[in-house]
Structure 1
Amino acid sequence: MTQSQSKIPFHDLTFYDDLPKLRDVEARLKTFLKATRERAQRIAIEAGRMADEDRVYSYDIVNDADMRRIKIRSVRYLERLHSSTGMYHLAEENRVRLTPIKGGLPVARIATELEADEIAVALHAEMPWMAPATEAVWHGLRASAREGLPGLRFSPLVLVGSPGIGKSFWARRLAHYLSVPTTMIDATGEPATFAIVGSQRGWSSATPGKLMQTVLKERHGGPLVIVDEVEKSGDIHSSRGTRHSLTDALLPLLERMTAATWECPFFQIKCDMSWVNWVMTANSRRGLPEPVQSRCLVLDLADLTTDQLRHFAQTEGARRCLPDPAIAALMDVLDCLAIKNSGLSLRTVSRTLDRAQTLVCKPILN
């Protein structure tokens, strides 16, 4: 739904393509030396300090010894330029991988407060039981428009609630309305610390984190990062006894000031990650690190009612363009499951919708 974009610098690197070539530096120094000596000769002749027949012609005024000195000086100059690019430590392969961020990256922005209102209304219409989360984002979007920020921002969120109430689904729908890319991280199924920020070169499995991978792949400086079940992430200990925790990885990224100069462990370059937005989910507050809670807006969400599930099924069914008979049949199934007290959840309804959509699109056999 968000249509406006602006570009942020994102980095302070100088790409090698923007640096002069050795032959160009040599040619520039040769031209300068030649012009300097010719001018000095002309002044000396005019002042009577040199006879005209002693003039050295232009094709001989810069000799081979001069060219050797020019080459040495050109190489030293380029070495200093290369060392100041911020990419001198990278192999050519990794410099190529960073090409998408050359010239800066776009971020989505909210042009007017009315646009923020429209996004909040659309999101609330789909999932009204997520009103506390929608309201928190709504205030952040309105503030972004009111302050004329180049991108959109809202406070990092931790959505606490029972499994199956649609926390992750709500985050994906939010990304849809904001028109920003997303990256999903399961804090229980993978080393979340390395999944988010990556690992330093030198490890056998060194790789950029999903955050940096998303930025490079999508060529976007403000993705939405969704971290599922953040309270269940454990610490990782290396063979040398070093501890790596999700909290250590998250804290610099959750603070806007430190995120603006965040250093990627893999590429070892500084990037502006201050326009990245965060939605984390948890089944309970137990296990949530205090430093994370102090930097996020933690929202306790209620369990879903049968009516809310029916509302979601009708809204989502209409969004998927299911015919009315299919939606009516789906309502009957939900009523039967509710009577049997079968532990209805948003996941159950989503699977039922998937099945209904498959049956509707299934070709009729003769």
Structure 2
Amino acid sequence: MSKIPFMPDIREFPLSASEIEDRLTNFLIALRKRLGKIKTTDVACDSVGSAEPLSSNDDVELTIEDHFKIRRRSKRLAAKREAVSCLAHLKSNDRKRLQLAERGVSLNGPATVQEVDELASQLMNEMPWMQPVIKPIWQDARQNLARGGYGLWHRPLIVVGPPGIGKSHFARRLAELSRLPTLKIDVGGGSAGFAVAGVQRGWGTACPGRPVEMILSHGVGNPIVVVDEICKAGVCYSETGASTSIVTSLLGLLEPVSARSWECPYFNVNFDMSHICWIMTANDVTTIPLPLRSRCRVIELGGLTQDDLLDLVGYEAAKRGLDQMDVHVVRRLITSYPKGHPALNLRVVTRYLDDLETLAQTPVLH
């Protein structure tokens, strides 16, 4: 499993003066032990035939002057390391959170072209109506590996289509098959911008953005982040008139160059966010701002047909081990609805299957 740096500007984490003092003390003791053994060996060589054996004393005691010099030097070194660490402004708790990614983060997902092909094939078998979405992800993942990249990566997507066709379900399934953590951000108002970018210090609700928190907690640099209903993005205003929106927060994260060294407003540290797999969903493409659309691949889908739902029922029934008689009931319900009926969607059919699975697992009372 390959790792890549997550904090490109941080070369090393600062050590406290006490940690440096302990290291210098141990080093000086070990050095004097070695020097003592060397001197003992030299004396032994010059004293061949002596009646008394010579030995070295492993118990080395440092003087007060030694401790004074070590402590003074430790403070100077700690101050220099602090100055070049780019973390001097952070409290110890925040440093510990960042230290989780000190050695980099993993890039998970398919490691070979064959694994990418198998992933795409599995998704096509389960959700054939999502082919317009699966194909570009498959192509990007293949190209990423061909360029020497690791794990799953694809360009940001905006998937547009009516409710109930499985846009969010597809993203979750992609994450599951790729062994990637997934994060869903619901766009209910302007405050969703804080969830993406975080809130800078000085505010009572100061916190890092949820994508940064997910990467730090899982140690995975390419999670799948689903921004649901991006078409409903609004603007949030503070009492002082300052504004924020999720669209503004996303622009810097979706641009490849700026995402490689994106400054977190909470930590004030640059992170490499360029490996995140962004999937945004929408019901209406016309309400999505042009700057956001220009940074993404926009894919428009139609509604589910009866054939799509019937294929889904067959696949899910086999996977859940449902009785064919029960499956026949669900198929008849689907075919009884006229074309375009609101019940012809993934949510309704999944609920039918869930109910059948619950009944099949319920013990019979005698």
Same fold (TM over 0.5): yes
Q: For 1:111, what is the secondary structure of its paired residue?
A: coil
Q: For 1:140, what is the secondary structure of its paired residue?
A: helix
Structure 2 vs 1, CA of residues 320 and 244 (structure 1 numbering), >3 Å: closer, same or farther? same
Within-5 A mapping of 1:22-171: 22-25=21-24, 71-171=71-171
Report how many aligned residue pairs link the two structures.
Answer: 335
Superposition deviation, residue 137 in structure 1: 0.5
Partner of 2:2: 6
The answer (yes or no) to whether the contact 1:172–1:182 under 8 Å persists in 2 is yes
Within-5 A mapping of 1:166-185: 166-185=166-185
The answer (yes or no) to whether the contact 1:13–1:86 under 8 Å persists in 2 is no
Structure 2 vs 1, CA of residues 29 and 188 (structure 1 numbering), >3 Å: closer, same or farther? same
Q: For 1:77, what is the secondary structure of its paired residue?
A: helix
- RMSD after superposition: 2.8
The answer (yes or no) to whether the contact 2:162–2:283 under 8 Å persists in 1 is yes
Report the residue type matching 1:98 in the other structure: L
Deviations 1:24-73 (A, max 9, x none): 447769999xxxxxxxxxxxxxxxxxxxxxxxxxxxxx997886566444
Structure 2 vs 1, CA of residues 341 and 31 (structure 1 numbering), >3 Å: closer, same or farther? closer
Q: For 1:98, what is the secondary structure of its paired residue?
A: helix
The answer (yes or no) to whether the contact 1:14–1:87 under 8 Å persists in 2 is no
Partner of 2:261: 261
The answer (yes or no) to whether the contact 1:109–1:149 under 8 Å persists in 2 is no
Report the residue type matching 1:195 in the other structure: A
Cα separation, 2, equivalents of 1:281 and 1:117:
24
Report the residue type matching 2:222 in the other structure: G
Q: For 2:2, what is the secondary structure of its paired residue?
A: strand
Unaligned segments of structure 1, at least 5 residues: 33-61
Q: For 1:286, what is the secondary structure of its paired residue?
A: helix
Deviations 1:316-351 (A, max 9, x none): 222233232332222122223448945321111121
The answer (yes or no) to whether the contact 2:186–2:229 under 8 Å persists in 1 is yes
Cα separation, 1, equivalents of 2:75 and 2:29:
14
Deviates more, 1:254-263 or 1:12-21: 12-21
Q: For 1:101, what is the secondary structure of its paired residue?
A: coil
Q: Percent identity over the alignment? A: 37
Partner of 1:275: 275
Cα separation, 2, equivalents of 1:115 and 1:66:
60
Deviations 1:190-217 (A, max 9, x none): 7211111211122111222211121122
The answer (yes or no) to whether the contact 2:109–2:180 under 8 Å persists in 1 is no
Report the residue type matching 1:123 in the other structure: L
Report the residue type matching 2:271 in the other structure: C
Partner of 2:249: 249
The answer (yes or no) to whether the contact 1:183–1:225 under 8 Å persists in 2 is yes
Cα separation, 1, equivalents of 2:219 and 2:297:
28
Cα separation, 1, equivalents of 2:338 and 2:165:
15
Structure 2 vs 1, CA of residues 348 and 96 (structure 1 numbering), >3 Å: closer, same or farther? same
Cα separation, 2, equivalents of 1:317 and 1:324:
8
Deviates more, 1:93-102 or 1:243-252: 93-102
Q: For 1:136, what is the secondary structure of its paired residue?
A: helix
The answer (yes or no) to whether the contact 1:187–1:230 under 8 Å persists in 2 is yes
Q: For 1:252, what is the secondary structure of its paired residue?
A: helix
Structure 2 vs 1, CA of residues 31 and 343 (structure 1 numbering), >3 Å: closer, same or farther? closer
Report the residue type matching 2:197 in the other structure: V
Superposition deviation, residue 110 in structure 1: 3.5
Superposition deviation, residue 149 in structure 1: 0.9
Say whether residues 1:358 and 2:353 are aligned partners: no
The answer (yes or no) to whether the contact 1:14–1:86 under 8 Å persists in 2 is no
Unaligned segments of structure 2, at least 5 residues: 32-61
Cα separation, 1, equivalents of 2:257 and 2:340:
52
Deviates more, 1:341-350 or 1:154-163: 341-350
Report the residue type matching 1:14 in the other structure: E
Deviations 1:122-165 (A, max 9, x none): 11111111111011101101101222213332111000111111
